[in-house]
Structure 1
Amino acid sequence: MKGEPDFLQNLRDEMGGGRQWLDRAVVIVYAVLAGLAVVAFTLLAEGAFALYSGLRSGWWWAPLVWTPALTALVVWAIRRWAPGAAGSGVPQVLTALDPATPLRERSRFVSLRLSLVKMVAVSGGVLAGLSIGRQGPSVQVAAGVMLHARRWLSPNSGITHRELLVAGGAAGIAAAFNTPLGGIVFAIEELSRRLQDRNSGLMLAAIVIAGLVAVSAFGNLSYFGRVRAEALSWSLFLPGALVAVGCGLLGGLMSRLMLASFIGLPDRFCAYRRKRPVTFAAICGFAVAVIAVISDGTAVGGGHEHTKVMLEQVGTPGASHQPLVFTGLKFVASWLSSWAGVPGGLFGPSLSIGAGVGADVAWLLDSPHGAALIALGMCGFLAAVTQTPITAMIIVMEMTDGHSMVLSLMACALLASLISRMISRPLYSTMSQLMMRSMRDGVTAAPPSPGEGSAPGR
C-alpha cells in the first residue's frame, strides 16, 4: 500500500549512515560521562558532610565558627569567579533552554566549566554544614556535560543544543535519585514540553543510561533509602489529607520566601544584603550553625540521614524524631542557607521537610501508618515547592516497595501543588524569567535560582 514504511529501505538507511551512528555513539558516551559526573558529585558531597559531621562531633561549638567562615568564603569565591554557578541549577538550565537565549549566552548558564565549579561549590556549602542538597545542582552539572557533546557532533546530526540540555538535565535527576523514570518525567514536566520525534528515543536512552550508571555505582536504592509502606486502608484518608494540606501550605510559603529573597524587598535586611553580600552570608551561616547546635546536627545537610532514621524508627518508642521541632528548624535552616547565596539545591531538603511533616501528623493523630505518611509528606512537600506534581510522585513512588501507594501519592502531590499555586508563583520558571530579564537588561552576571542561592548584587 502506498505510504506504508519500506522495511528494507529504512534498514539500509539506518545501517548505511556511518556518521549517524558515530553521532549516536557520542551522545551515549556523554550520557555515561554525565552519570559518572553525578556519581563523583555525590561522593564528593557525602565526603564533605562526613568531614563536617566529624568536626561537629569532636567540638560541639565548632560550627559556630566554621559554618559562617566557610559560607562567606564560598559566596565570595562564586561571586568573584563563577557567578553562573550560583543557585540550584534548574533555573539556569531552563534559561539556557529558552529559545530567546542566544547561543553565545548559554555558556553563562550551562557549560562544562560551570559543572566542575558547581560540584566544588556545592560540596563547599555541604562542608560548611548548610541545609542544601545536591539533586538540583546535579541538573546543571549533567546538562553542562551533555552540552559539551555538541562540539563532536556533525552539522547534519539533527541533534540540537536544546535536546542535549533536556537530556542532560533529566539525566542529572535520574542519576541523583537513582530513578531513571523520574528523570524522564522531569524532562517532560519541567524542562521541555516536547522532544523532536527524530531524536526522542536517543535522548530518552541517554537519560536512562545516566541513571543506570548511578544504579551501578550505588545499587538500586534511593538516596533516601527504601520506604516500605504497610497495607493501606481508609483510616489513612484523614491523616493523609492533613499531610497534603500541610505540605501545600508550607511548600507554598517556602517558595514564596525564596522568591522574595531573590527579588529583594524594600527592607533593611535585603538592603544590607545588597550592600554587603559576603558579610550577610556569614550572618546566615551563623544562624544555621546555631540551628545545627540546637538540633544536634539533624536539621542541616541534605537531610537524608535523619529521614532514614525516621523511617527506621517510625512507630517505635523512644524514636529520635522531635515532633514539630525538626520540621520547623529544617525549614528555617533551608531558607537561610539559600538566602546566604551558597550554591545548593532544594530537592533533598524538601524531601526531608516533607518527611518531618508526615512524621508530625502521625505523632499528632497516633496513626499506625507512619511510614506511609512520611512517604506522602516527602511527595507533597516536593510537589508544593517545585510545583511539578508528577515528577514528585514518580520520584517518591520509585522509593517505595510495590505500587500500593501510587494513587495516594498522586492525590497528595496534586492537592499540595494546587494549594502551593494559590500562595506562590512557580519557583523555577519564575526565576528563569527573571534571569532572562536581567540578561536582556545587560546584567553581566547570570543570577541564580531564588530559593537556592541569590543573584550577585541583588
Structure 2
Amino acid sequence: MAGLSPRPGVLRRWTPARWRALLRARGPRSVQFRTRTAILAGAILIGIVATLFAMASDWAGELFGRYSRGAPWWPLLTTPLTFMLLVALTRRHAPLARGSGIPQVIAAQADPGRATATLISVRTVVAKAALTIGAVLGGASVGREGPTVQLAAAVMGVTHRVLRVPLRGGVLIAGGAAGVAAAFNTPLAGLLFAIEELASAYEQRVTLLVLAAIVIAGMVAQSVQGDYLYFGAIGAHMSLGAALMVVPVAGVLGGVSGGLFSRILLGVATGGNRVSRWARTFPVRFAGVCGGVVALLGVATGLTWGTGYSAARAMIVGVDAPLWFGPAKLAATAATAIAGLPGGIFAPSLAVGAGVGNLLREVFPGEPASAVVILGMVAYFVGVVRAPLTAVIILTETTGSRGLMLPMFATAFIADFASQWVCREKLYHGLAQGFALPPPK
C-alpha cells in the first residue's frame, strides 16, 4: 500500500543522492578514507626511512671503526670533544632530540596533535637523526633503534597533517612500534613493543589498522634490506635439565645488572644527587667527562665502541670473548646515555647482555654456548627495558632460536622480577617525565 515502508530484506533503490551520501561518508574525501590512507602511507614511509637511517648509521660505525684502528690513540681526544660538541648543539638547537627517542613518544601520547610541533616535529627528528649519526661517528656506545622510534612517530605525524586528519595516540604507538619492526626486521616484536612498552601494559586499544601499519613497515624494510636475521640463523636450543639450572641464574644476574643500569640513568636524569646537579649545571663539561670514560674504555679494550653488534654476534656463535666485556660495555653505554647525546640503548643493551651470557658460559661450561649467551641477552635486556615479551620475541626473531623460547620466557620473567629489586621504576616511563608537554594555554 502507498505510504508503507518497504518490507524487511527488500533492497532500496540506489539513487544519486544515496551515492553522494556514501561518497561523503566513505569516499576519497571522507575522514575515514583519509585516516586509513595516512596510516598505511605512513607505514610504507617508515619502512623506507628506517632503512635509510640504518644504512647511514652502519656507514658511520664502519667509518669510525677504520679510524680507530688506523689511529688507536686519537679517540682519547676526539671522542670527548665530539661528546661536548654534540651536547652543545643538542641543547642549543634541538633539546627534545636528546636521549633515546622512546621516552619522547611515550610523552607525546598525552597530546599527539601538539607533539607534532614539538616532541615529534620534523625539525626535532631531522636533528635527532643527524646527531645520532654524529654520535656513532664519535665512537659513542649508542644504537639507532630508539631514534628510529621517534623518527617513525614523526612520519605518522606528517602523513596525518598532509591529509588533514587528527593524529590519535594509538596511531602514534603504531608509528613508534613500526620503527622497531623496521629497525630489527621483526614485525612481531614491533607489535609486542607497541602493546607492552609504548602502550604501557595494554592501556591503549590496538585496532586492526594499527597492527597492519606495524607489519607493513616491517615488510617494506625487509623488501629493501632483504630477508635476513639480525644476528643470523643461530637456532639455539637447550635441554630441560640444563634450562632448570641456567635459567634462574641468568634471570637474576641479568635482571639485577639491567636494573642497575636503569637506576644509574634515572638517578642522573631525575635525581637530586651531586652528580645529577653537576650534569644539569655544566652539561657540556659533564659530556666531556663522559666522553673521556667512553674513550678510555674503547682504547683500552678495542671492543666497547659503537653498538657492540659484532662482539655480540661473535659471542652468540660461540667465539670466546674476554670476561670483562659485559661490565666494560655496560659502563661505556651508561656513560654515553647520561651524557645527554641523542642515541638509543637497544643494540648496546643486547651487546651487554651477550657479555652477561659470556660470563655465564664460565659458570656452565658444559651447556650450549649460544643458548647460554642468548639467555643472558634476554635477561639483561628485560632488566633494562622491563618488557619481557618484547625481549623474547626480538631474540627469537633475530636469531631464529624458536626452540629456546620456553627457557627465554622463564628467564625474562625472572629478570623482570629481579630488576625491580634494584630499580622499581620502568626506565622509559621514568625518562618520559622529563619530556612531558606543558598544559595548553
TM-score in terms of structure 1 length: 0.86
Work out the number of aligned pairs and report it: 418
- Which AA in structure 2 matches 1:410? F
In the TM superposition, what is the alpha-carbon distance from 1:412 to its structure 2 partner?
0.7
Q: 1:122 aligns with which of 129, 132, 135?
A: 132
In the TM superposition, what is the alpha-carbon distance from 1:347 to its structure 2 partner?
0.9
Structure 1 partner of 2:313? 308
Q: Could you list the per-position Cα deviations for residues 49-69 of structure 1 after superposition, in whole angstroms to 9, with x for gaps in the alignment?
A: 111111111011011111111
Structure 1 partner of 2:260? 253
Structure 1 partner of 2:87? 75
Q: 2:54 aligns with which of 42, 45, 65?
A: 42
Asked whether the equivalents of residues 290 and 335 of structure 2 are also in contact (C-alpha less than 8 Å), the reply is yes
**1:416-431 equivalence runs, <5 A:** 416-424=415-423, 425-431=425-431
Q: Could you list the per-position Cα deviations for residues 258-306 of structure 1 after superposition, in whole angstroms to 9, with x for gaps in the alignment?
A: 1001024332x3343223211211111111011001111x112111111
With over 3 angstroms needed to count, the CA separation of the structure-2 counterparts of 1:363 and 1:196, relative to structure 1, is: closer
Q: Could you list the per-position Cα deviations for residues 217-260 of structure 1 after superposition, in whole angstroms to 9, with x for gaps in the alignment?
A: 22232333333214533123212221111001101111111100
Separation in 2 of the partners of 1:271 and 1:194? 34
Separation in 2 of the partners of 1:288 and 1:393? 29
Q: 2:279 aligns with which of 253, 273, 279?
A: 273
SS state of the match for residue 310, structure 2? Answer: helix
In the TM superposition, what is the alpha-carbon distance from 1:405 to its structure 2 partner?
1.3
- Which AA in structure 2 matches 1:303? G
With over 3 angstroms needed to count, the CA separation of the structure-2 counterparts of 1:224 and 1:400, relative to structure 1, is: closer
Separation in 1 of the partners of 2:373 and 2:401? 16
- Answering whether residue 182 of structure 2 is matched by residue 175 of structure 1, we say yes
- Which AA in structure 2 matches 1:405? L
SS state of the match for residue 83, structure 2? Answer: helix
Asked whether the equivalents of residues 229 and 399 of structure 2 are also in contact (C-alpha less than 8 Å), the reply is no
Separation in 2 of the partners of 1:410 and 1:64? 41
Q: Could you list the per-position Cα deviations for residues 137-192 of structure 1 after superposition, in whole angstroms to 9, with x for gaps in the alignment?
A: 1111100111111113355xxx6431331111010110111100011111111122
- Which AA in structure 2 matches 1:294? A
- Answering whether residue 150 of structure 2 is matched by residue 151 of structure 1, we say no
Asked whether the equivalents of residues 223 and 304 of structure 1 are also in contact (C-alpha less than 8 Å), the reply is no
Gaps of 5+ in 2: 1-8, 13-18
Structure 2 partner of 1:3? none
- Answering whether residue 297 of structure 2 is matched by residue 291 of structure 1, we say yes
Q: Could you list the per-position Cα deviations for residues 56-98 of structure 1 after superposition, in whole angstroms to 9, with x for gaps in the alignment?
A: 1101101111111111111111100000111101111010102
- Which AA in structure 2 matches 1:305? S
- Answering whether residue 142 of structure 2 is matched by residue 132 of structure 1, we say yes
Report the identity percentage.
36
Separation in 2 of the partners of 1:68 and 1:402? 39
- Which AA in structure 1 matches 2:280? R
Asked whether the equivalents of residues 240 and 412 of structure 1 are also in contact (C-alpha less than 8 Å), the reply is yes
Asked whether the equivalents of residues 72 and 279 of structure 1 are also in contact (C-alpha less than 8 Å), the reply is yes
- Which AA in structure 2 matches 1:431? L
Structure 2 partner of 1:456? none
In the TM superposition, what is the alpha-carbon distance from 1:419 to its structure 2 partner?
1.0
Displaced runs of 4+ in structure 1, greater than 4 A? 12-16, 194-197
Structure 1 partner of 2:16? none
Separation in 1 of the partners of 2:401 and 2:392? 14
- Answering whether residue 97 of structure 2 is matched by residue 85 of structure 1, we say yes
Structure 2 partner of 1:220? 227
In the TM superposition, what is the alpha-carbon distance from 1:194 to its structure 2 partner?
4.8
Structure 1 partner of 2:15? none
In the TM superposition, what is the alpha-carbon distance from 1:37 to its structure 2 partner?
1.0
**1:364-403 equivalence runs, <5 A:** 364-401=363-400, 403=402
**1:346-357 equivalence runs, <5 A:** 346-357=345-356
In the TM superposition, what is the alpha-carbon distance from 1:107 to its structure 2 partner?
2.5
Structure 2 partner of 1:109? 119
In the TM superposition, what is the alpha-carbon distance from 1:208 to its structure 2 partner?
0.7
Asked whether the equivalents of residues 239 and 367 of structure 1 are also in contact (C-alpha less than 8 Å), the reply is no
With over 3 angstroms needed to count, the CA separation of the structure-2 counterparts of 1:364 and 1:203, relative to structure 1, is: same
In the TM superposition, what is the alpha-carbon distance from 1:415 to its structure 2 partner?
0.7
In the TM superposition, what is the alpha-carbon distance from 1:440 to its structure 2 partner?
5.6
**1:314-353 equivalence runs, <5 A:** 314=318, 319-323=319-323, 325-353=324-352
Separation in 2 of the partners of 1:371 and 1:124? 33
Which protein shows a greater Rg? 2
- Answering whether residue 424 of structure 2 is matched by residue 435 of structure 1, we say no
Asked whether the equivalents of residues 92 and 432 of structure 1 are also in contact (C-alpha less than 8 Å), the reply is yes
Separation in 1 of the partners of 2:271 and 2:198? 26
Asked whether the equivalents of residues 112 and 168 of structure 2 are also in contact (C-alpha less than 8 Å), the reply is no
Gaps of 5+ in 1: 1-5, 443-458
- Answering whether residue 169 of structure 2 is matched by residue 162 of structure 1, we say yes
With over 3 angstroms needed to count, the CA separation of the structure-2 counterparts of 1:402 and 1:284, relative to structure 1, is: closer
In the TM superposition, what is the alpha-carbon distance from 1:196 to its structure 2 partner?
4.8
- Answering whether residue 63 of structure 2 is matched by residue 63 of structure 1, we say no
Asked whether the equivalents of residues 357 and 374 of structure 2 are also in contact (C-alpha less than 8 Å), the reply is yes
CA RMSD of aligned residues (A): 2.4
Separation in 2 of the partners of 1:149 and 1:195? 21
Separation in 2 of the partners of 1:260 and 1:441? 29
Q: Could you list the per-position Cα deviations for residues 405-450 of structure 1 after superposition, in whole angstroms to 9, with x for gaps in the alignment?
A: 11111111111011112221111112223433x83699xxxxxxxx
